[in-house]
Amino acid sequence: MTPTHATVGQLQSPQDEFSAPLRIQELEHDETVLTLAVSDKYIFAGTHTGEIFVWSLATFELVKRFQAHKRHILWLYLSDTTSQAAAAAASSSSSNAPSTSPLPTPSIDGPARSILVSSAGDAIVSVWCPDTFARLYEIYWPDHIGDVFCCAYSPQQDTVYLGAQNTSIQWVKLSDPERRVPHDNPNHPDQRIDTFFDSKAIGGKSTPRKKDQREELIPPADETLEIHRSSIGNRAHSGFIYCMFVAKGPTVLVDPGEEVLITGGGEGRIKLWQIKQDDKYNDMEEWEAWEYREIMCLGEQDGQSVFHMAIDGSFLYSGKKRGIIELWDLDTKQKLRVIKDHSGPNGRCGDIMSLQMAWDNLWSASTIGTVARHSTVLSNKASDKVSQKYQCLSRWKAHEGKILSSAYTTYQGHNYYITGANDNKLSVWRVDGIQEEAEDTSDESERTMLSSLREFISYRTISARPEFAEECRQGASFLCNLFKRLGAQVNMLSTEKLHNPVVCAVFSGKLEPAEKRKRILFYGHYDVVPADRDSSSKWATDPFQMEGINGYLYGRGVSDNKGPIMAALYAVTDLLQAKQLDSDVVFLIEGEEESTSRNFQETIRRNKGLIGNVDYILLANSYWIDDETPCLTYGLRGVLHATICVDSAYPDLHSGVDGSHMLDEPLADLMQVLTSLKGPRNKIMVPGFYDAVLPLTPDEEARYEEIVKILSRRHPHNGTVEQLKSSLMARWREPNLTIHGTKVSGVDESVVSSHASATISFRIVPDQQVDDIVASLKDFLRAKFAELESKNTLTIKIDNKAEPWLGDPNNQIFKTLEQAIIKVWGLSEPAQLAEPANGDSTGASDKEKEDAASAAADTDKDVDVHPTKTTADPKTGLQAGGPAVKGRKPLYIREGGSIPAIRFLEKEFEAPVAHLPCGQATDSAHLENERIRLVNLIRSREIFGEAFRNLQGGT
């Protein structure tokens, strides 16, 4: 877009300025703007002369100009009306005492009333009505504290907080009648004696204080409040407190709706403070309790002042000197990213004086007059065009002077970004085209499984790609907050290593005493594999926007593993609401299962005391053997990935110039070593490799017989019973070696490569020990390489490994799940759905139709759920739903894949593991058009509920 006025200045080079939005108004005046706030009607600007300017958003005309302070106004804070209304509702529900504050209590039935708080260099804080501009309160500290750089208001506590030049934080409750004093109180800054300016000279005389003419122009306050001397947090920072604000539930360390005070200091650190009333502070003075209210401290005491902050969920952005913006994760207390921008002439970077998180973008303004807009996690969710987080989407020269403040609003359908500077101008930029995220006004208690899953899917939690690291943490934070809203005690587990955190949530059962409760651990993962929707992709829908088509839910992670997590979670909430949860249920949801569960074991071991003892372990991370028969998985193969390298002491050589029989070629050596690994019929030649493989038992063979009879009957084209049986056993219970590929140095086909490597993997089975396989493999390869008498060197690198797992189908947890599956799916009933006749395209039972209709109603039309069909959708080409389940009991199956965490958890907690597949064989997990049948998700929720309720009685 092109500005309506000529650019007020140029950056060092033309390419540094791009995508300047439309400046619809330039509001000229005669003052430096130090701070801005915007309401639903007005723009408020605080100036260096102590005045507040008020412009109309409707006409951009100056509505009011009044003297608010004697000195420069450093901060304006406009309270959130919705927060105040909620606080008033909470207050009215907890107390019948009348309000003693002259500030009208917000009406819950009518519109809530907000307040405008200003602080300045005259050590006074004022509270204004943003509609009538009446001065409701003036607030001061009885002693000298210097300039008041910032202020904030907590609707829940009805308290104003201020950050001072003397590094302290003070506070006062507006409705506290004991804090009211006359305006001419001798402690008032206008009345008290200044130890320097009012000091007496020789002879006992002092110079009369000069009357400040601006003092007479300031409207009188309805009430004057003196902060109590105990209401102070001394040395809250080691530098001036430049910025502060109040946020709701910004970290899992507090309740989701709990307000927290966040402050930034001149020494470079950020602190979070608990401000709610708590019984543990009852026996302390306020100043003494404040020392214990610090929730966390972020950053170093490096003198890189924190001038401004912005928040997005649990992500906190801080603007600092020299163009630095730091991104912090308040859940894990980790600094995730440093953004550097606003480079001017001669490479000088401006200080970041203002940050705003608006319309899913991060907006920053600097002292060299530039504004930059960066993409964030949210903006990347909404657009496939931006693949890298925190790209600079636009940057422009907004002012000739220093930009000291900014604000944003949406007014009558237009998005406005507003900047104020020391060039006596205020600019209003229209940034339409950036969609504002719709506000979620639904009651959190009414969130349903499908609407929660829909939001969960929208986070691109791709652990294998570093550019999605922030979004992985956003997904973890969403999960934490959801667990907390539904009643769990939540912790975000991590180590000092920068890995995706593990979400730990504990739902407590009602059985007393607690020692009698069983503890069930549910394991899952919130990360997913990549899903790119481009010209070569076959995705029929946006993989990160869940869609309901033909009775299926489509989206990346609906089947693996976000859908099953939601089913298990809402099964627990069902039991809580019915007061039927006797056992404790512990959720461990990791964020790197699709990336070999790196750091998972270390994290769990380090936090094992917090997790507690475990009696049963349950997971749901696989699929039925077909689309018709519910299954239980009792075995998985382990895996060992390795890289074999052969290197020469020489660089890459030309085969014609240097090649001869006297030259040992790395690739040739590697090929000979690789071919020695396998013999006839793919037998693995490593000595003793098969020694520990468990023999086939009669019970296990009977399970295979049952499986192959069903499969051969339904799918006769897949081969004979014996062929199917041999195929399943080879993939499930027998080990295998795969050579995946080779790499060589050099780019020319005539080159003798100096380096050659190959990646291989072993799939191992019970009771093979992965460490024993590693040792045998290394010995075998070294021996074969030695036989070559080569001058090259051999190295073997173990990339990752996971042990095989074999459960006991006859133990308590499997039998409990089996009975739950029989009950929920009605497997004891003969004959399920037949193919539709007479042109009826609906293949769903009445119960399935009712479930689908009920689920659609629950989502408030969030998900378009269609009836199950037997034909493909003509528009999308997506496969329609097939027949319902068959059989009289679930099939016990094993799988050829690996899940690294299972065997580790089983050994670490000494508890039995069971694996409940939720989806069907055609769910296309890890593939395009991943899906899960809606009925499967609903029934899985019921099965989990039965298991969580009935395992309490097991042993």
CA distances from residue 285 to 151, 169, 229, 236, 261 in whole angstroms, order as listed: 22, 15, 10, 16, 19
Counting beta carbons within 10 angstroms of the beta carbon of residue 836, is it exposed (0 to 12), middle (13 to 18) or buried (19 or more)?
A: middle
Q: Which of 577-586, 623-632, 712-721, 836-845 has the lowest mean pLDDT?
A: 836-845
- CA gap 224, 126 in Å, rounded: 9
pLDDT at 953: 64
Sheet hosting strand 169-173, strand order edge to edge: 148-154, 159-164, 169-173, 232-233
Q: Do domains 31-198+214-302 and 641-694+735-802 have the same CATH topology?
A: no
DSSP-assigned states of every residue in 491-549: EEE--SS--PPEEEEEEPPS-SSGGG--EEEEEEE--B-----STT---SS-TTS-EEE
- Residue 659 has φ and ψ, to the nearest 5°, of -70, 135
Mean pLDDT of 785-811: 95
Residues whose CB is less than 8 angstroms from the CB of residue 153 and which lie 6 or more positions away in sequence, other chains included: 77, 79, 115, 117, 127, 159, 160, 161, 246
pLDDT at 756: 95
Q: Does the pLDDT of residue 692 top 80, yes or no?
A: yes
Kindly report, residue by residue over 922-951, the tens digit of the pLDDT.
Answer: 999 999 999 999 889 999 999 999 999 999
Kind of pairing between the strands at 502-507 and 584-590: antiparallel
Fold of 31-198+214-302: Methylamine Dehydrogenase; Chain H (2.130.10)
Q: Give domain limits for the chain.
A: 1-28+307-403, 31-198+214-302, 447-636+806-831+882-953, 641-694+735-802, 705-732
pLDDT at 937: 94
Kindly report, residue by residue over 571-589, the tens digit of the pLDDT.
Answer: 999 999 899 999 999 999 9
**641-694+735-802 — its CATH code?**
3.30.70.360
Q: Does the pLDDT of residue 145 top 80, yes or no?
A: yes
817 with 947: CB under 8 angstroms? Answer: yes
- CA gap 181, 225 in Å, rounded: 6
Fold of 1-28+307-403: Methylamine Dehydrogenase; Chain H (2.130.10)
**447-636+806-831+882-953 — its CATH code?**
3.40.630.10
Kindly report, residue by residue over 249-308, the tens digit of the pLDDT.
Answer: 999 999 989 999 999 999 999 999 999 988 888 888 888 889 899 999 999 998 899 999
490, β-bridge pairs: 505
Q: Which two tokens stand for residue 25?
A: 């108004």
User: Residue holding tokens 């005493």?
Assistant: 513
CA distances from residue 910 to 78, 521, 903, 906 in whole angstroms, order as listed: 55, 12, 10, 5
Mean pLDDT of 174-184: 93
AA identity, residue 457: I
827 with 630: CB under 8 angstroms? Answer: yes
CA distances from residue 546 to 528, 535, 559, 868, 880 in whole angstroms, order as listed: 14, 20, 12, 17, 16
Kindly report, residue by residue over 603-638, the tens digit of the pLDDT.
Answer: 999 999 999 999 999 999 999 999 999 999 999 999
Q: Which two tokens stand for residue 555?
A: 């989206």
- CA gap 561, 365 in Å, rounded: 41
- CA gap 168, 150 in Å, rounded: 11
- The helix or strand, by DSSP H or E, that contains position 94, with its residue range, turns out to be helix 81-94
250 with 272: CB under 8 angstroms? Answer: yes
Counting beta carbons within 10 angstroms of the beta carbon of residue 541, is it exposed (0 to 12), middle (13 to 18) or buried (19 or more)?
A: middle
- CA gap 114, 39 in Å, rounded: 9
278 with 296: CB under 8 angstroms? Answer: no
120 with 140: CB under 8 angstroms? Answer: no
